[in-house]
Amino acid sequence: MGLRAGLVLSLLLASLAVAVVRAGESLGANGAVAAEKVGTRESASLILTGDGSTFYSANFDAGSVSRLSADTGERLGELRLGGDLRRLALSADERTLAVSDYRSEQLLLVDAVSFRLLERVAVRGRPFGVVYDSERALFWVTLFEAAELVGIDRTGEVLERLPLPDTPRGLALARDGRLFVTHSMLGEVSIVDVRATPPVRVRSIALAATRDADAFASQGLPRLLDDIAISPDQSEAWLPHVLWSFGHPFQFRSTIFPAVSVLSLEPGAERERVDRRKQLFRQIDLSDGASKTRIISNPHDLAFSPSGDKAYVTLAASEDLVVFDLSRRARDSDRRRSRRRGKRSQGGAQAIQIVRHLPGDLPKGLVIRNQEILVQQAGTLDIAKLTRGGEGPFARVELVEARFARLVSGDPVDPRERRGQRVFFSANVDDDPTFPLAGDFWMSCGSCHLDGFNFTNRYLIGDAQRYPKHEPGAAVTGHSGLSTLVAQDFVGDYIRMIQDTQGGLGADERMGLERVDPEAPPARLVASMQDLHAYVTASENLPFLSTWLRVEGGESKLDDSAWTTASQCQDCHSAIYSQWSSSNHHRMGSSHPYYLALEDLAAQDEGEAFRAWCMGCHNPRHLASGRASSHALRPGAAAREPFVAGLNPAASAAATDPLGEGTDCLFCHRVSRLEHAGGNASLSVNLSDRERYPFEASSSAILRWFSERLIASRPSVHADSYWKPFYSDPRYCGSCHSEFSPGAGAVISDTYAEWAASSYNRPDSPAENRTCLDCHMHADVQKIGSAVEGRATDGGRWKSNVRTHRFTGASIDLVAARDSAAADQGLALLRSAAELGASLVSDGTDEGRSLRVRVRNVGAGHHLPTGVADLRQFWLYVRVRDARGRVVLESGALDDRGRVPNSARMFNKVLGDADGRPVGLRFWRYATLLSDTRIPAGEFRDEEFRLGGPMEFPLMALVELRFRSFPRALSEQVKKSFPDLQLPPVHSLVRLERSLERP
């Protein structure tokens, strides 16, 4: 009996053992169930094959994809593709690899077997996240800038497109077909049903934005949502990100906080578990040896252990790994059983370990391979291997091999730029204890400037503006206290930024370091700042530093010969050329006296390099061709230009500078990319990647003539090469007609935003929608809203609506010297902008009477005035006579010097500096808004004038809205350099005469 029982027991045990072994085999190397291959379901820069034997790495700006052995770290292959490769995904059969090229705006399809490129699929709009959907056999790709989700099959055909809210970035595909999309700069997650054809966005989850009275408590707007990871049981998703807290001046301990948000994925009831958000000083509260909470920064990527009991997060700035233990968190059902209310909720899983630091630079992607953690380091382009240390709650992660794998055979990035990149993105103070780049690991430049300098900048400014001002009128959204707004003394200003914003370089007094003097930095630090400068001025960032203008086509600057002059366009587009020739879009650079005066003043104050900020919009051709100033060929020379009426503009242009000036045909119509970053010429010009006609650039006049005939006989290629759909987008105008101060981020003007907020922005109602072009490129401002027929090409097709290139606007007086008809149009436009009203108000006493004048903005699609609202003069002239003809009130009359008195009711912005003093002409130093009496579109402003003393009724009131393009004092100053300058006259825009009876 005993023997029989023993045999039975042995058989049972053996069967059990076999079952356990087979279950373990089926889990696969990465802990996932390998029974079905489903492809990559979460967007990542480092992925493992299903059997765990191989991993693939997207090597970012090294421009290659590597295939490596997961066992040995041996690089099995490296495919150089160029660009900036961010994420990659394998198909279910692991035969096709899709890689997102963020910079080149392509999805690259690679044969994973032969490891060769199959296809480059153009997907404009910064492709980022990639996952594979085995059900539909599609790669889903987020277009970060274009705000779209596209579905691409393995042949490269785009089969699905779904518009999404702004900045879609990370992707995670649940088994039931729900696709979770993170919106990096909105703090939202979209849920898309990709089983539907076409896909449908079913819900959106807005992550909680928090505020706390204690500025140093974790709080803020959820931002920089890069990736999202779904727990193995599909019940939750975790999102590492930061919190932006901008409600007070930048101070590193109260501005940026690391966080990991948790979503419950219950179908139909998806929501954020705000109570389980991981934050510093709560769920992330591990102390160092001195009982001080260890600070971490920039959570980047996250992976769960196969059991789901642990979560691992890379910290890209502090260069750490944080471990969360989910096994011991209270479940929701535990609440009822818990007797100790105070202990009931600890905010979910807690951080149990911070691995400080990961070797290498800039840790990003990570994968879990059984007990191994492989961390991809984007700065040093290698893989570090760590061990998880087991499954239990006391398991400790430890480094096994610092450089387990080298991702690339060679780094194509310039070493200085690579070092500069590290300076930009690192908050690891232990990297350089003498010159730490942050205070206590809190933040790096990359904590705000996602991926460097790009369109996300406008979210930075916008979020800063959301908060109530910590001081009345505070306008700086970025770095204050800069010496030369970065341009001239960039070393010193970088040091000031690192100190004042990030707490580095001795600014954090708790670190006991001597504060570095920005005026006299040590040589080693200077070298480091110069490296940083190399990164900041890289071609994909700010090559011209202060301005956001870029040159595409593989060149850092353009040769003069690359520019065709506008006069060649005149041959076939004579009317448009003539309109442009007299316009302010042409004459706003080398021949504009006010502009030259201000450019010179800016250079005098901030250094010669600061001219670039001005030239980016006013003289971009000069800047892109390497010219240092807007002055003509002779340094310091002023172009004496046609302000004297009647002078031939064409002859004058040839006499001054062969590059011409302003923005001409070839510039505007060869802008290849618009980056909606908030202004400052945030666009790219590309002269080289263009379909050309034979003999276009020939030096022979006969061959050039022949080339013109070729263009004329087949013009479609010519037309296509000079047109982009966004040329009619108001954001294109906004790329220059909005500006902010470099470094400080004070929004000096934002005409685009004013229009966007107005009732004229009606894309859903074409009949009511009015964009910039509808008024400022309308051939007859008396007929705005109606089409104006005409030809764009001499003898060409008759068009139902032709845009004038006069760019009718408020700066009419310089235009008047060249083209009176254009000036008349400008004046007509100004006169259509406002209406006046006048009434008497009284409190019942003789002394309590006032004249109330109402100015209503009825015609401008933006504030009145806009743009250079600190210099333009709009004011009220008021004169009231009583029945006996006595003047009982007069306001706004020019003084004997022709200046508008201070007592006049002006409609303008008064900009102040950091000390609250008016900046005057130095508007780039704007830091405080002293007053803003402009009138938004569709709104009005009332001005009251007290009426005192005896008077007989009825009163006769004369009210005028007057305009002058520049202040008299400024004009007199400029005239000293330009004696031919005609002082701008005063224009009466709107006039009202009204009889007023006793109230």
Partner 1 sequence: MPSVGQVELSLYAIALSGLLLWEGLPVSWRVAAPMLVAHIVGGTVLTVLVVAPFWWQHRVRLRTAAPSTRRATGRWIEIVLALLVASGFYLFFAGNDGASDAALAHALHLWLTLPLLAILVLHVARASALRVFWYRARRRRPLSRLRSS
Instruction: State which residue, 80 or 799, has the beta carbon closest to partner 1.
Output: 799
Instruction: State which residue, 470 or 714, has the beta carbon closest to partner 1.
Output: 714
Rounded to whole angstroms, the Cα distance separating 284 from 274 reads 15
Rounded to whole angstroms, the Cα distance separating 284 from 354 reads 9
Quote the least distance from Cβ 120 to partner 1, whole Å.
Answer: 16
Instruction: State which residue, 509 or 689, has the beta carbon closest to partner 1.
Output: 689
Instruction: State which residue, 793 or 832, has the beta carbon closest to partner 1.
Output: 793
Instruction: State which residue, 624 or 802, has the beta carbon closest to partner 1.
Output: 802
Exposure string for 11-38, b = 16+ CB within 10 A, e = fewer: eeeeeeeeeeeeeeeebbbbbbebeeeb
Instruction: State which residue, 712 or 828, has the beta carbon closest to partner 1.
Output: 712
Cα 380 to the center of its chain, rounded Å = 27
Instruction: State which residue, 713 or 786, has the beta carbon closest to partner 1.
Output: 713
Instruction: Report the run of H or E that residue 448 belongs to, with start and end.
Output: none
Instruction: State which residue, 712 or 858, has the beta carbon closest to partner 1.
Output: 712
Q: What phi, psi does 220 have (nearest 5°)? A: 135, -170
Instruction: State which residue, 253 or 704, has the beta carbon closest to partner 1.
Output: 704
* Edge-to-edge order in the sheet of strand 200-206: 168-173, 178-183, 188-193, 200-206
Instruction: State which residue, 796 or 848, has the beta carbon closest to partner 1.
Output: 796
β-partners of residue 374 are: 367, 385
Quote the least distance from Cβ 715 to partner 1, whole Å.
Answer: 6
The per-residue DSSP string of 250-295 comes to --TTTTEEEEEEEEE--TT--EE-GGG-EEBTTTB--B-TTS-BPP
The per-residue DSSP string of 707-772 comes to HHHHHHHS-HHHHHHT--GGGGSHHHHHTTSEEE-TTT--EEEEHHHHHHTSTT--TT-TTT---H
Instruction: State which residue, 690 or 922, has the beta carbon closest to partner 1.
Output: 690
Quote the least distance from Cβ 570 to partner 1, whole Å.
Answer: 15
Q: Where are the beta strands (DSSP E) in 843-891?
A: 849-857, 873-881, 887-891
Do β-strands 75-80 and 278-279 pair in parallel, antiparallel, or remain unpaired?
A: unpaired
Quote the least distance from Cβ 580 to partner 1, whole Å.
Answer: 19
Instruction: State which residue, 287 or 700, has the beta carbon closest to partner 1.
Output: 700
Quote the least distance from Cβ 93 to partner 1, whole Å.
Answer: 32
For 817, residues 6+ apart whose C-beta sits below 8 A from its C-beta are: 642, 643, 644, 645, 982
Quote the least distance from Cβ 562 to partner 1, whole Å.
Answer: 19
Instruction: State which residue, 713 or 845, has the beta carbon closest to partner 1.
Output: 713
Rounded to whole angstroms, the Cα distance separating 191 from 177 reads 10
Judge contact between 881 and 888, C-beta under 8 A. yes
Residues that bind partner 1 (CB under 8 A): 572, 691-694, 709-717, 793-798
The per-residue DSSP string of 951-976 comes to --SSEEEEEEEEEESS-HHHHHHHHH
Instruction: State which residue, 511 or 717, has the beta carbon closest to partner 1.
Output: 717
Quote the least distance from Cβ 806 to partner 1, whole Å.
Answer: 22
Quote the least distance from Cβ 666 to partner 1, whole Å.
Answer: 19
Instruction: Report the run of H or E that residue 314 belongs to, with start and end.
Output: strand 310-315
Rg (CA), the chain: 32
Quote the least distance from Cβ 153 to partner 1, whole Å.
Answer: 21
Instruction: State which residue, 339 or 797, has the beta carbon closest to partner 1.
Output: 797
Q: Is the dihedral of CA 947, 950, 954, 958 positive or negative?
A: negative
Rounded to whole angstroms, the Cα distance separating 179 from 362 reads 28
For 365, residues 6+ apart whose C-beta sits below 8 A from its C-beta are: 44, 45, 46, 57, 58, 301, 314, 375, 376
For 354, residues 6+ apart whose C-beta sits below 8 A from its C-beta are: 286, 294, 296, 320, 321, 322, 323
Rounded to whole angstroms, the Cα distance separating 155 from 141 reads 15
Number of other CB atoms surrounding residue 337 within 10 Å: 9
Instruction: State which residue, 340 or 797, has the beta carbon closest to partner 1.
Output: 797
Record the tokens describing residue 893, joined without a space: 């009359």
Quote the least distance from Cβ 156 to partner 1, whole Å.
Answer: 17
Rounded to whole angstroms, the Cα distance separating 374 from 315 reads 14
Do β-strands 683-685 and 550-551 pair in parallel, antiparallel, or remain unpaired?
A: parallel
Quote the least distance from Cβ 794 to partner 1, whole Å.
Answer: 8
Quote the least distance from Cβ 783 to partner 1, whole Å.
Answer: 24
Record the tokens describing residue 457, joined without a space: 């900048």
Quote the least distance from Cβ 798 to partner 1, whole Å.
Answer: 7
Q: CA 10 → CA 4, 6, 21, distances in Å?
A: 10, 6, 16
Rounded to whole angstroms, the Cα distance separating 428 from 356 reads 10
Rounded to whole angstroms, the Cα distance separating 563 from 780 reads 31
Rounded to whole angstroms, the Cα distance separating 855 from 706 reads 58
Quote the least distance from Cβ 793 to partner 1, whole Å.
Answer: 5
Instruction: State which residue, 658 or 796, has the beta carbon closest to partner 1.
Output: 796
Rounded to whole angstroms, the Cα distance separating 599 from 593 reads 10
Instruction: State which residue, 399 or 711, has the beta carbon closest to partner 1.
Output: 711
Residues written for the chain: 999
Q: What phi, psi does 32 have (nearest 5°)? A: -85, 155
Cα 657 to the center of its chain, rounded Å = 34
